[in-house]
């Protein structure tokens, strides 16, 4: 399936009525598979980008939000109680309603579950590579502190870079990593120049520099 499901499209259309519009500003047109890298920006990144980006993308989603039971537990034990400070009984009531809805929307969005445990993370890699081999575009929000809105906070998970090794070993081609920045003041989604690993240099020798170029690329948009 190379398109969003009906539920996600309806929700996206509804959200568009009350937000935006956002202009898409591209530094280049990228043909073929690629990986978009954007700041989470305390949920603003996923919410705005997935509402206004016209392209079909497969988005990495923390796995707890793609199962009703784990989503419910996360809302009750963390989001609503620790972050929002709600009483437990209110958190449970809200999570009971919200969890099934969120899971259904993310499933309709064709989200790729992200597991942070080393064993189950292979599922994420396999699903992502399958989409890339089919010519798809992946969207990743890799912030470690995902509630931060500070551009100076440069801490990100670097695990997504290892997709390059698998992809190159099979195809002999480098996967483009594309910086993306959500400019809420100008109401623009800015997509920068693609960044690729270089030929003839070991993956581990250039991994850190590629990550730094991606982060710099995001911050300079």
Banded pLDDT at 155 (limits 50, 70, 90) = low
Q: What is the pLDDT of residue 201?
A: 95
Which residue bears the tokens 């109401």? 187
Q: Is 112 helix (H, G, I), strand (E, B) or coil?
A: strand
Q: What is the pLDDT of residue 149?
A: 52
Per the structure block, which two tokens stand in for 89?
Answer: 């009984």
**Reported pTM:** 0.92
Q: What is the DSSP string of 145-159?
A: STT---TT---B--G
12-62: per-residue pLDDT in tens? 999 999 887 999 999 988 889 999 999 988 888 999 999 999 999 999 999
- More confident of the two residues 103 and 118: 103
Domain ranges of the chain: 6-62+111-220
What percentage of the chain exceeds 70 in pLDDT?
93
Q: What is the DSSP string of 29-89?
A: PPPS-EEEEE--TTTHHHHHHHHH--S--EEEEEGGGGSHHHHHHHIIIIIIIIIT---HH
Q: What is the pLDDT of residue 151?
A: 54
Position 152 pLDDT exceeds 80:
no
Kind of pairing, strands 188-191 and 177-183? antiparallel
56-109: per-residue pLDDT in tens? 999 999 999 999 999 999 999 999 999 999 999 999 999 999 999 999 999 999
157-179: per-residue pLDDT in tens? 788 999 999 999 999 999 999 99
Q: What is the DSSP string of 171-182?
A: HSSPPPEEEEEE
Which residue bears the tokens 């693609």? 194
Banded pLDDT at 206 (limits 50, 70, 90) = very high
């Amino acid at each position: 399936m190379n398109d969003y499901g009906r539920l996600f499209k309806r929700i996206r259309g509804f959200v568009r009525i009350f937000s935006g519009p956002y202009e898409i500003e591209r530094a280049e047109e990228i043909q073929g598979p690629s990986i978009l890298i954007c700041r989470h920006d305390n949920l603003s990144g996923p919410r705005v980008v997935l509402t206004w980006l016209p392209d079909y993308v497969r988005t990495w989603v923390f796995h707890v939000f793609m199962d009703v039971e784990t989503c419910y537990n996360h809302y009750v034990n963390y989001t609503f109680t620790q972050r929002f400070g709600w009483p437990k009984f209110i958190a449970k009531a809200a999570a009971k309603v919200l969890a099934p809805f969120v899971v259904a929307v993310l499933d309709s969005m064709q989200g790729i579950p992200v597991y942070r445990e080393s064993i189950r993370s292979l599922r994420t890699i396999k699903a992502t590579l399958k989409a890339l081999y089919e010519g798809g575009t992946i969207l990743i929000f890799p912030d470690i502190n995902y509630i931060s809105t500070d551009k100076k906070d440069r801490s990100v998970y670097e695990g997504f870079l290892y997709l390059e090794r698998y992809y190159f070993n099979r195809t002999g081609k480098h996967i483009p990593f594309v910086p993306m920045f959500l400019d809420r003041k100008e109401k623009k989604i800015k997509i920068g120049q693609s960044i690729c690993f270089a030929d003839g240099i070991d993956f581990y020798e250039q991994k850190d520099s590629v990550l730094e170029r991606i982060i710099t690329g995001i911050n300079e948009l």
